Amino acid sequence: MLDRVRNIGIMAHVDAGKTTTTERILYYSGTKHKVGDVDDGDTTTDFDPLERQKGITINSAAVSIDWADRAGAPISINIIDTPGHVDFTAEVERSLRVLDGAVGVFCAKGGVEVQSETVWRQATKYKVPRVAYVNKLDRMGADFWGCVAQMRTKLGANPVAVTIPAGQDNALEGIIDLIGMKLITRDLSDKTFRKFFVTDIPDQYLAEAKARREQMLDGISAASDEITELVLEGKDVPEDLIRKALRKGTLDNTFTPVHCGSSKMYHGVQHLLDLVVDCLPSPLDRPPVDGVHPKTKEVVTRKPDAAEPMSALAFKTVAEANGDLVYIRVYSGELKPGESYTNVITGKRERIARFYRMMGDKRINLEKAGPGDIVAAMGLADTFTGNTLCDPDRPIALEAIQFPKPVIAQALTFSKQLDAGKVGEALNRLVRDDPTLKTHTDEETKDVIISGMGELHLEISIEKLKRAIGVAQENTELIRLGKPRVAYRQSLARSVDLEYRFVKQTGGRGKFAVINVKYSPLTPEQIEDKVREIEELGDPKVKPDPNNVYFVNSITQGAIPKEYIPSVEEGLREGAKKGYKYPFPFVDLEFDLHFGKYHDVDSSQDAFYLCALEAFRDAQERAGIQLLEPVMKVVVVSPKDYQGQITGNISGKRGIIEETSEDKGVAQVMAKVPLANLFGYTSDLRSATKGQASFSMEFSHYAPVPVELADIPKPDAKKK
């Protein structure tokens, strides 16, 4: 039954304890009889050799467990453990696109860190209900309430604590359940870590527990008038009413329940699972999925019902020796092995040979999958990330997944000893499986350029490439990365309004097109207005442009026949893909086509396309170019003694310090720094702080940069 299913993701900043939490969940659910540990490299979800070598999660991994609700009825929970490093944000993006709920894990010491904010925004984008779990209460410097306060200020969340710690760091005894008003402590003599004591709250914690319970009731009363009345009348609020209000408020994203614990020390994991069952949605609690008919473009809706036509979204592809493994979320109908379905993106029929429920790297064969199921399928030759599979007689195209653009590029060199065809094939599969990884061949140098989300991302990608073609990881000479390159963007320096005439006469039928276009760089405020206008249209066929390049048709009285207008837009957009002076895409632009002329005989779609292409080149010359560079949000954490060196170092890298703070001898510096100045920063920071500092970064925005500071080929060199 669908109401007894939960599809959730575990998301957080790197090192907040996601994988350890997942391991404890598997243990307590009975799925594993021996607890894995990240330090020992034997966890279920970090099964890739690269993950065990690096000690971090690189790939999202799926596991399934059985739990029970408070009445003892079975609940099936499908869990995806996602990476915490910003370089692998694509894994989080595609997971949240297909999940119904999420658990945000926070380190009680680190609080809301950079990637915590990123994944929270991703979940907000997809309207995914969440519960928060403040982990690592046993760590020195743990601050549960400080973390809760940061959820409010940094995430814009409305946190409601449902459990609180009984002591913190070395003094951690257990957790206090504010709903049942009980203290829960672990039996320290039990080596299986399964025995707990549930007792009355000791006097030393009772006053705070009562005050925090009042705060909890005040918070959840937003989802229950009945609780509001009971509180005002000074009456007791029943537990079942509290849980009902918690569920309603969570599903509506009115507030976020906050739980606490220490996964490594086995505190709070079972109660986290209870909270998942109590508060996070089943597939039935999520709205029906919308898509469009691939031909008519009319909006089509599918309900989470096995009787509906089958519809599913492929959200991840993994290349394997025996064929691709394609991860699929089923939204409606039933998926069956041996059946054929239509891929609406390619238009081809695809036959699913078999599919599995994944348990890390282990697979459980399934005979069918219904709404809400997340499975991995074999036999799909032409289905990749973002593709929709559906009933051939009832087609629907579900919304694809939008991924961030790469911000860093490096040249990739191969030894002549390697088979070029084999390398190219493996590289193509790598790019296909990772939508944030791009490759192209430089027209001038003929180098293969690989682009990604950061230096670690590219490093891991090359190690995967070596593994795919059978090259030893330590052999650095056969495949090498060159100097990092920044993925610059460009826009026009000012607005220009130009007429361009394209007239070619070759003896026969000529080419004639005249267009008047106003070319305008857009401010962030103007872009926000355009995105808002598109959202207010409510039309799923119209999407905000990922590069914020917009075309406006202001032609009146038939100055240009309407059949030529799309050709003008196509020509302008093609010109915006790569500039005339610099080989970077254009962003933040508006093309306003407001007048033009045509010829009854010599005008054609091709003429207007070529006219637009050359017109934009002319506009670049007249308006001038504003080069843009990626700027990163950087957070550095170190002992306070090194704060001066860190801020000075950042300032020397053209960085702007935005905030500094210090707590219990630990300093935190937040800054915005151009990516071009961050290459090799790990080594710089290590030497400046004797290895005692760490930093994280994520993409913030593009900002203007003087040409003389940009690491790009000079424009004149290209014209020679």
pLDDT digits (tens, 9 = 90+) for 400-422: 888 878 888 888 888 888 888 88
Mean pLDDT of 34-58: 60
Residue 518 has pLDDT above 70, yes or no: yes
| Two domains, one topology: 2-283 and 491-623 | no
Tokens 């032609």 map to which residue? 555
Provide the pLDDT for residue 444. 58
Residue with more model confidence, 546 or 219: 219
Tell me which amino acid residue 454 is. G
How far apart CA 522 and CA 587 sit, in angstroms, is 9
Q: Select, from the ranges 32-36, 113-117, 716-720, the one with the highest average predicted confidence (pLDDT).
A: 113-117
**pLDDT for the residue 39:** 53
Which residue(s) pair with 497 in the sheet?
A: 518
Residue 694: burial class (beta carbons within 10 Å; 0-12, 13-18, 19+): middle
- When pLDDT is cut at 50, 70 and 90, the band that residue 718 belongs to is very low
Q: How far apart are CA 47 and CA 51, in angstroms?
A: 7
Instruction: Name the β-bridge partners of 365.
Output: 356
**Amino acid, single-letter form, for residue 486:** V
Q: How far apart (Å, rounded) are the C-alpha atoms in residues 288 and 281?
A: 13
Q: What CATH class is the domain 289-398? A: mainly beta
171: Cβ contacts below 8 Å, ≥ 6 apart: none
Task: Report, as an integer, the average pLDDT of 450-465.
Answer: 86
Q: How many residues does the chain have?
A: 720
Helix axes 114-125 and 144-155, enclosed angle (nearest 10): 50
Residue 37 binned pLDDT confidence (cut-offs 50, 70, 90): low
User: What is 640-655 written as a DSSP string?
Assistant: GGGHHHHHHHHHTTT-
Average pLDDT over residues 70-85: 87
Is the Cβ–Cβ distance between 5 and 372 less than 8 Å? yes
Alpha-carbon gap, residue 527 to 629, rounded angstroms: 18
C-alpha dihedral sign at 544, 545, 551, 553: negative
Neighbours of 32 (CB within 10 A): 19
| Mean pLDDT, rounded, for 26-50 | 64
The C-alpha atoms of residue 46 and residue 659 are separated, in whole angstroms, by 35
| CA pair distance 716, 720, nearest whole angstrom | 7
* Residue 41 predicted with pLDDT over 70: no
Query: Is 57's pLDDT higher than 70?
Result: no
Comparing 360-364, 475-479, 500-504, 713-717, which segment has the lowest mean pLDDT? 713-717
The predicted model gives 241-249 an average pLDDT of 96
Distance CA(670)–CA(656), nearest Å, equals 9
> Does pTM surpass 0.85?
no
Q: What is the mean pLDDT of residues 520-541?
A: 84
Torsion sign across C-alpha atoms 575, 581, 582, 588: negative
pLDDT score of 719: 43
Q: For residue 453, what pLDDT is reported? A: 83
Neighbours of 648 (CB within 10 A): 12
Give residue-wise pLDDT tens across range 109-146.
989 887 888 889 889 988 999 999 999 999 988 999 99
The whole-angstrom separation of Cα 99 and Cα 313 is 12
Q: Which residues pair with 319 in a beta bridge?
A: none
Q: Which pLDDT belongs to residue 260?
A: 97
Residue 87 has pLDDT above 90, yes or no: no
Beta bridge partners of 363: 358
pLDDT at 311: 95
The rounded distance, in Å, linking the Cα atoms of 119 and 92 is 7
% of residues, the chain, pLDDT over 90: 52
Q: What distances in angstroms separate CA 208 from CA 174, 203, 211, 552, one per listed residue?
A: 15, 10, 5, 60
Mean pLDDT of the chain: 88
Determine the 3-state secondary structure of 76 from DSSP: strand
Give residues with Cβ within 8 angstroms of 251, minimum separation 6: 129, 279, 281, 285
pLDDT tier, 165 (very low <50, low <70, confident <90, very high otherwise): very high
DSSP 385: T
Is the per-residue pLDDT at 81 higher than 80?
yes
Instruction: Say which CATH architecture domain 408-485 belongs to.
Output: 2-Layer Sandwich (3.30)
- Is the pLDDT at 619 greater than 60? The verdict is yes
The stretch 292-306 carries a mean pLDDT of 91
CA distances from 123 to 9, 52, 119, 461, 630 (A): 10, 27, 6, 26, 24
443 against 266, higher pLDDT: 266
| Domain extent listing, the chain | 2-283, 289-398, 408-485, 491-623, 627-709
pLDDT band for 91, please (50, 70, 90 cuts): confident
Task: Determine the average pLDDT of the residues in 528-549.
Answer: 81
Which stretch of DSSP H or E encloses residue 351?
A: strand 349-351
Asked whether residue 217 carries a pLDDT value surpassing 60, the answer given is yes
- Look up the CATH architecture of domain 2-283: 3-Layer(aba) Sandwich (3.40)
Distance CA 40, CA 482 (A): 33
Question: 227 in helix, strand or coil?
Answer: helix
3-state secondary structure of 474: coil
Q: How confident is the model at residue 423 (pLDDT cuts 50, 70, 90)?
A: confident
3-state secondary structure labels for all residues of 126-192: CCCCEEEEEECCCCCCCCHHHHHHHHHHHHCCCEEECEEEECCHHHCCEEEECCCCEEEEECCCCCC
For residue 30, the SS3 value is coil
Contacts of 16 (CB under 8 A, 6+ apart): 84, 105, 106, 107, 110, 113, 116, 135, 136
Instruction: Identify the bridge partners of residue 701 per DSSP, sorted by sequence position.
Output: 631
Round to whole Å and give the CA distance between 570 and 127: 33
Residue type, 353: A
pLDDT confidence band for 551 (50 / 70 / 90): very high
β-strand pairing of 256-260 with 130-135: parallel
Q: Which of 100-109, 197-206, 369-378, 537-546 has the lowest mean pLDDT?
A: 537-546
CA 181 to chain centre: 37
3-state secondary structure (DSSP) of residue 443: coil
Can you tell me whether residue 686 is helix, strand or coil? helix
Strands 479-486 and 489-492: unpaired
- pLDDT for the residue 40: 54
Q: Return the pLDDT at 487.
A: 86
Task: For residues 52-81, give the mean pLDDT.
Answer: 83
What's the distance, CA 177 to chain centroid? 33
Radius of gyration of the chain (CA): 28
CATH class for the region spanning 491-623: alpha beta
**Tokens found for residue 231:** 């509180």
Q: Which region holds residue 299: left if phi is over 0, alpha if psi is between -120 and 50, else beta?
A: beta
Residue 441: both structure tokens together: 């061949």
- Section 616-642 average pLDDT: 92
Q: How many CB atoms lie within 10 A of CB 718?
A: 13
How far, in Å, CA of 689 to CA of 161, rounded?
37
pLDDT tens-digit readout, 570-595:
999 999 999 988 889 999 999 999 99
CATH fold of 627-709 = Alpha-Beta Plaits (3.30.70)
What is the structure's pLDDT at 38?
57
| Rounded average pLDDT over 58-62 | 76
pLDDT value at 105 more than 90: yes
Q: Residue written as tokens 């051939």?
A: 392
- pLDDT above 70 covers a percentage of the chain that reads 93
* Distances, alpha carbon 250 to alpha carbons 4, 211, 503, 719, in Å: 17, 22, 63, 59
For residue 575, the model assigns a pLDDT of: 95
What's the rounded Cα separation, in Å, for the pair 577 and 584?
7
Residue 296 to residue 395: CA distance in whole angstroms: 11
DSSP string, 263-290: TTTTBSHHHHHHHHHHHSPPGGGSPPEE
